[in-house]
Amino acid sequence: MAGSSAVAVNLEDVPSVDLMTELLRRTNCSTKADKRLILIGPPGSRKGTQSPIIKDDYYLCHVATGDMLRAVVSTKIPLGVKAKEAMDKGKLVSDDLVVGIIGEAMNKPSCQKGFILGGFPRTVVQSKKSVCILWHLCICYSRYATDDG
């Protein structure tokens, strides 16, 4: 159940052990401190291997550039259409598109407790643009945390 998309499910059809596992996962998640991690390393340095382990241990959202690009291309949303056009021409997806896709992913409710960025940023331009996104997210999350008292 963890990480599944928001689909209406009849809880009577879900095995009790699955419900209890998800309840335990959510309870454990609520006691963990917020974390925002960026895994940096060359291709093959095992970022993709470590990310799921860290994600599960700290209940974080894993934002992987390659996975996000493939997912957004399949959705046919405007960012995905632009990304597919570039990929079909054998070109790299523009920094603006990559930053936009990652920014949208990090704004999802599943990433409010924290996230792991893997494979991002890959260029100096992406790095500079991501500072704005990260700054905004940290300010917003801090503000929301203190608004509730």
pLDDT per residue as tens digits for the range 47-63:
888 888 888 878 888 88
Domains for the chain: give ranges and CATH numbers.
34-147 (3.40.50.300)
Q: Which residue has the higher pLDDT, 7 or 89?
A: 89
Spatial distance between the Cα atoms of 100 and 129, rounded to a whole number of angstroms: 9
Q: Which residue has the higher pLDDT, 4 or 132?
A: 132
